Chains A and B, each alone.
Chain A
Amino acid sequence: MLSDVTAEELMSFLNLDTRPDIKGQATEYILGLSGNRDGCRFLQTKPDLIKALVTLTTDPSIAIVKDCYHTLINLSADETMHRLLVKNPDFLPMLFKNILDPGYMFADRICTILTNLSRHMKTCKEVFKAMQEQGISLAQIVEIFCTEDYNKQASLHYLGPLLSNLTQLPETRQFILDKDRCVVQRLLPYTQYEASTIRRGGVIGTLRNCCFDHVHHEWLLGEAVDILPFLLLPLAGPEELSEEENEGLPVDLQYLPEDKKREEDPDIRKMLIETLILLTATKVGRQILKTKNVYAIMREFHNWEKEPHVVAACEKLIQALIGDEPEPGMENLLEVEIPNDVEVKLKDMEAKELEQLEKDKEDLLNPDKAQHCAGIVRMM
């Protein structure tokens, strides 16, 4: 393995004044290191090297800047590196400054790094704090995300997963669910954004996370937001429904054409269903979903779906749609405190369902065990 002497020698090459060919070889070597676990372990013990890489993201050579970003992406994909990266006082500010620049060539790399760093709650808070300290608001992030071709050289698709990760924080959910603004409404159309699975997944993850706040269910399902069609459309296919069933659906799902295609990514399909399941946790949510004929869509979907883990989620949703109402006082499944004497009365299905919902919530809000955050990207 690399010796300390060699590290010092590498370090001496990693400054802006070094000859480009030598500097390039050094950054290329470090990129190779970052591609495996042992290399990361080594780099973890050399904060100065990382500091130098951050500095070199301003190098005049594009090839060197590219190598530095690739290395930083690899490091940010390793959770054990997060604290070190976040502690660097120049790192996050540099990222946020450049992400706003509509001409910055490496903005997509930055989005990827930020997505990786915000996957876990501790560093997610650091990322959010750094963002605020740079004077960047969530409104600006959403604005950039929703502005087509904001950066001609970068798609900024990874802002979607970043937003999803940030909704681990109450401040972010509060902003997105602000009734006095038009934020969640602007995100909804992206559930069907064909050009990018990443962007779609990011928005759907955001919506799912916001639906854990059950007090907002009625507003989300009402006229002001109308979240339901945007969750159902990716799950609806070309099957022909009867006139009666069609008229009962939200208008966006009525008379879909023969070439209608469903969401192609199974994990996204599952996330959509999980979001719908969350909406069935409140009485008002269940009533609206039943009234809007969600069952007809899910029945056809169930006939079509092949992935076992998605089928299981779908069956759980259908059960909630066609099952009996819970006993009075138990209508909000996310709020129920289960006394010991009442617990034995719950049916096995209901008990397991509740347990799963609580577990899902815990997984989300304590994401050291997170299962559905997107955006681990390792580049060589």
Chain B
Amino acid sequence: MASHAQTADDSDDDMDGFMERFKKEKYSNAFSEDNWEEEFNKVPMFMKTAPEDIDPLKHPELAAIQSIIHDDDRPLGEQAQSLKDEGNEYFKERNYKKAIVSYTAGLQKKCSDCNVNAVLHTNRAAAHFHLGNMRSALNDAVAAKKFKPDHLKALIRGATCCLELKKYTDALQWCEEGLKLQPTDKKLLELRAAADKHKRVAERDARKAKVQEKKERSEREALLAAIKERGVKLRMPPPRPKRQSESEDGGYEGASKALAGLDLDGLCSTEATGARVFLGEQGIIYWPVLFLYPEHQQTDFISAFSESSSFLDHLSHMFGEELPPWDTDRKYSFKNLQVFFEDEERESLHQVNPETTLLKTLQHKRYFVKAGTPSFIILVKGSPFCKKFFSERKTYLL
């Protein structure tokens, strides 16, 4: 509150000062009783007669008004032409944005000269083209053609834009129209050849993609059929942790969703390596498989684990001569290792005979493959961690 009071005080002081000075000083340049009529006569609103010759220095306001009036008297076509020329100057200087402004102003005159309008649109199209605005350029080419259907430059511009926009059929159409007018025009012949070539390549690419897609679909279907034939159960990745398996509920209606999930699941470890389950020669399925070592919070990833291979086949290589560096106790020799899989729904462990094949394990009635990637827990037989791990969950031993 004090600050406000201070402000008020300051204002009052300033005003007082002003009033004091005002009393002492005479207002300068005021109309005097002697010359007020003469001065009034110079203001356009009050002047009694307009002078014959307007001197811009003596009567600047009147000169401005006259200029406005006279501009309005110029034919619209002429104004549009001037703006076109102005735009062309900017175009030469490569100032395409200003060129567009000028051409636009010219078009806004809406003069009746179709030729001028066609040229304005065509030139604006060229400016847009150089700025990389292909759609705007094409729109202008279309508008130019409406004003003057035989404007060759507009047809060439339209064809060029369609080519840039990969509208090859339309580009060919523009070329045909142009070549009808000028059958030997070199630029149009080049554009037509280019559009034709690109169109055919694009069509080939579409056919190839279709063939590829069909091939992939049939491979996927063959893979699903093989999985189904083996009685392996697939499970969708867990945004629905408590829900029963999709595959289990709807037979294999959910199977294609599950495999579709293979591609879509960003959390799946296959995302990193790109490995995924596939059907190999002689109809053997190869799975990407995760080995988990909870004692050391480590994992191993086997990108192509043949269903006909056993766990021992892999473990004897992985934990043979050379043990991993994280095995500080040097106890992860393959002879000491035990293999388990987890039944998440029942929160239980199932032990697997290492000499069993992957396929036989996957066919276990409680095994569900998640995200197309079987995973297994590896523990050291009789180790303290192993005992503790068992005590925390129900375990089905061999």
**Do the two shown chains form a genuine complex with each other?**
yes
- Which residue in B176, B184, B210 is a CB contact (below 8 Å) of A255? B210
B183 touches A255 (CB 8 A): no
Say yes or no: is B302 at the interface (Cβ < 8 Å to chain A).
Answer: no
Say yes or no: is B235 at the interface (Cβ < 8 Å to chain A).
Answer: no
A257 touches B210 (CB 8 A): yes
A255 touches B204 (CB 8 A): yes
Say yes or no: is A98 at the interface (Cβ < 8 Å to chain B).
Answer: no
B183 touches A182 (CB 8 A): yes
Say yes or no: is A11 at the interface (Cβ < 8 Å to chain B).
Answer: no
* Chain A, Cβ-Cβ closest to B183: A181
Q: Using Cβ atoms and an 8 Å threshold, which residues of chain A touch B54?
A: none
Say yes or no: is B187 at the interface (Cβ < 8 Å to chain A).
Answer: no
CB-CB under 8 A for A180 and B207, given A251-B201, A252-B200? no
Give Cα distance in the complex from A252 to B200, angstroms. 6
B57 to chain A, nearest CB (A): 64
Say yes or no: is B189 at the interface (Cβ < 8 Å to chain A).
Answer: yes
The 8 A CB mask of B189-200 against A (1 = contact, 0 = none) is: 100110011001
Within 8 A of A (CB), among B172-218: 176, 179-180, 183-184, 189, 192-193, 196-197, 200-201, 203-204, 207-208, 210-211
Within 8 A of A (CB), among B296-337: none
- Which residue in A139, A223, A226, A254 is a CB contact (below 8 Å) of B204? A254
Say yes or no: is A224 at the interface (Cβ < 8 Å to chain B).
Answer: yes
A258 to chain B, nearest CB (A): 9
The 8 A CB mask of A163-195 against B (1 = contact, 0 = none) is: 000000000000000001110011000000000
Give Cα distance in the complex from A256 to B204, angstroms. 8
Within 8 A of B (CB), among A125-181: 139, 143, 180-181
CB-CB under 8 A for A224 and B193, given A143-B180, A180-B184, A182-B183? yes
A254 touches B183 (CB 8 A): no
Q: Using Cβ atoms and an 8 Å threshold, which residues of chain A touch B193?
A: 185, 223-224
Give Cα distance in the complex from A257 to B196, angstroms. 21
A contacts with B: majority SS: loop
CB-CB under 8 A for A182 and B189, given A223-B197, A251-B200? yes
Q: Using Cβ atoms and an 8 Å threshold, which residues of chain B touch A226?
A: 197
B180 touches A254 (CB 8 A): no
A185 touches B207 (CB 8 A): no
* Chain A, Cβ-Cβ closest to B196: A185
Give Cα distance in the complex from A224 to B192, angstroms. 10
Give Cα distance in the complex from A186 to B196, angstroms. 11
A117 to chain B, nearest CB (A): 27
* Chain A, Cβ-Cβ closest to B214: A258
Most buried by A among B180, B183, B201: B183
Within 8 A of B (CB), among A217-276: 223-224, 226, 229, 251-252, 254-257
* Chain B, Cβ-Cβ closest to A258: B214
Give Cα distance in the complex from A252 to B207, angstroms. 10
A190 to chain B, nearest CB (A): 14
Give Cα distance in the complex from A266 to B208, angstroms. 30
A257 touches B207 (CB 8 A): yes
Q: Using Cβ atoms and an 8 Å threshold, which residues of chain B touch A252?
A: 200, 203-204
Q: Using Cβ atoms and an 8 Å threshold, which residues of chain B touch A181?
A: 183-184, 189
Give Cα distance in the complex from A180 to B200, angstroms. 23
Q: Using Cβ atoms and an 8 Å threshold, which residues of chain B touch A223?
A: 193, 197
Q: Using Cβ atoms and an 8 Å threshold, which residues of chain B touch A224?
A: 193
Give Cα distance in the complex from A229 to B203, angstroms. 13
A233 to chain B, nearest CB (A): 11
Q: Using Cβ atoms and an 8 Å threshold, which residues of chain B touch A143?
A: 180
Give Cα distance in the complex from A143 to B192, angstroms. 16
B204 touches A251 (CB 8 A): yes
B156 to chain A, nearest CB (A): 14
Give Cα distance in the complex from A251 to B208, angstroms. 10
A255 touches B192 (CB 8 A): no
B180 to chain A, nearest CB (A): 7
* Chain B, Cβ-Cβ closest to A186: B176
Q: Using Cβ atoms and an 8 Å threshold, which residues of chain B touch A255?
A: 204, 207-208, 210-211
Give Cα distance in the complex from A181 to B192, angstroms. 11
Q: Using Cβ atoms and an 8 Å threshold, which residues of chain B touch A257?
A: 207, 210
B168 to chain A, nearest CB (A): 13
- Which residue in B176, B183, B192, B211 is a CB contact (below 8 Å) of A139? B183
Give Cα distance in the complex from A224 to B200, angstroms. 14
* Chain B, Cβ-Cβ closest to A257: B207
Q: Using Cβ atoms and an 8 Å threshold, which residues of chain A touch B204?
A: 251-252, 254-255
* Chain B, Cβ-Cβ closest to A253: B204
Give Cα distance in the complex from A223 to B192, angstroms. 12
Q: 6 additional contacts, CB 8 Å, given A251-B204, A252-B200?
A: A139-B183, A180-B184, A181-B189, A185-B193, A229-B200, A254-B204
Interface residue ranges, B against A (CB under 8 Å): 176, 179-180, 183-184, 189, 192-193, 196-197, 200-201, 203-204, 207-208, 210-211
Report, nearest first, the 5 A-B pairs whose CB atoms are least far apart.
A255-B207, A251-B204, A255-B208, A255-B211, A180-B184
Q: Can you sample 12 A-B contacts with CB below 8 Å?
A: A139-B183, A143-B180, A182-B183, A182-B189, A186-B176, A223-B193, A223-B197, A251-B201, A251-B203, A252-B203, A252-B204, A254-B204
